[in-house]
Amino acid sequence: MRGCWLLFALVLGCLVGCVGAPPTSVPPLPSRTVVPSIPPATSTPTPLPTAGPTPTPSPVPTALPQAVELRVDPTQLEPGHTLAIRLLSPWPVTAEGTLGETTLHFVSQDGGRLLVALLGVPVDASAGERVVAVHWQDGTGRTGVQTATVELLPARYPRESIYLQPDRAALLDPEIVRAEWERLEPIWNSWTPQRLWSGDFITPTRGQISSPFGTLRSYNGGPAVSYHNGVDISNPEGTLVVAAARGRVVVAERLQVRGNAVILDHGWGVHSAYYHLSAILVEEGEVVEARQAIGRMGATGLATGPHLHWEIRLGEVPVDPWEWVRRGGRF
């Protein structure tokens, strides 16, 4: 029974709330160059110069390689936010790493001279220092370990109580919740090595924030057992919802709890989700651009009124979407 309540609490956080540049002109082709005719050779050939001894080049000193460097950004952060970890090297390397007990998933760039890992810190993580440890190896067998310290600050999230009508509360059946989580868990854990987005994420709709990220929630007077995994934006039903960034549609279907849902894969383990839609305007497998319409706001599934529930996850970990609006292009 305790396991069901833990799963129930994990999934509830994502539920109820209340909402080119112009083409560059092609430059004209250069005017045709007239090549002058070659004068006839003279009757007396010019003697070739006598080759002298080949000079011995001076040896070029080999520059000592710089040390492999580990950078974490930021070095202090609250739970529910995103940590960017970079390993910079003057030569190609591969690496494995951890933050505490969490395994890092690196993406190789610049021919292996830059490795990047993005990690979401769970909203209920305890405050304190964590050690980032990265073990690297190059093609010659040379190895090394780089470490850095990250400080997790105390979480500062509000509380709220939500009251559900009986017909909506029926969707809280643990079996319904479990089945839906099992449908989505492989999506969160899927990995696309290509980064599909560029620049910061945008807010996907208009309206009022009716429930912020990270809120500790209780339902129908019960204990506060779950955190809100996204941002709720309220507005009238039918309000247009657009993609927050370029990505591939991996879910476009009706779910029992989350209602009409669209999930985008942005690469590097980053997904954004859009729930409780009244209409879905995209199909699974479609690649959409930032600001492209993907649905319309609604109140389908476990919702108390028309709103958009918007999530961003790194793997299974939900993080504050507003952070990605502020700095998503700099990860």
pLDDT at residue number 209: 96
CA distance from start to end of the chain: 40
- What is the torsional sign of CA 270, 326, 118, 156? negative
Query: What are the helix (H) ranges across 160-273?
Result: 166-169, 174-188
In a domain, 294, yes or no: yes
Q: Are residues 198 and 110 both part of a single domain?
A: no
pLDDT at residue number 47: 39
Q: Give the C-alpha separation, 239 to 331, whole Å.
A: 30
Q: Are residues 175 and 255 both part of a single domain?
A: yes
Q: Are residues 148 and 97 both part of a single domain?
A: yes
pLDDT at residue number 80: 96
- Pair of tokens at residue 255: 């779910």
Q: Are residues 265 and 146 both part of a single domain?
A: no
Q: Give the C-alpha separation, 94 to 108, whole Å.
A: 8
pLDDT at residue number 28: 38
- How many CB atoms neighbour CB 170 within 10 A? 12
Give the C-alpha distances (Å, rounded to integers) separating 96 from 65, 133, 141, 143. Answer: 21, 8, 15, 11
Provide the number of structural domains found in the chain. Answer: 2
Q: Are residues 146 and 170 both part of a single domain?
A: no
pLDDT at residue number 184: 97
Q: What angle do CA 78, 83, 84 make, to 5 degrees?
A: 155
Q: Are residues 210 and 322 both part of a single domain?
A: yes
Query: What are the helix (H) ranges across 100-244?
Result: 166-169, 174-188
For the purposes of burial, counting CB atoms within 10 Å of the CB of 263, is it exposed (0-12), middle (13-18) or buried (19 or more)?
Answer: buried
Contacts of 222 (CB under 8 A, 6+ apart): none
pLDDT tens-place values along the chain, 331 residues long:
434 433 344 444 444 443 333 333 333 333 333 333 333 333 333 333 333 443 444 444 433 347 899 999 999 999 999 999 999 999 999 999 999 999 999 999 999 999 999 999 999 999 999 999 999 999 999 999 999 999 999 988 988 888 888 888 888 888 999 999 999 999 999 999 999 999 899 999 999 999 999 998 888 888 887 899 999 999 999 999 999 999 999 999 999 999 999 999 999 999 999 999 999 999 999 999 999 999 999 999 999 999 999 999 999 999 999 999 998 778 8
What range defines the domain where residue 141 resides? 69-152
Q: Taking the complete model, does pTM exceed 0.85, yes or no? A: no
Amino acid at residue number 20 = G
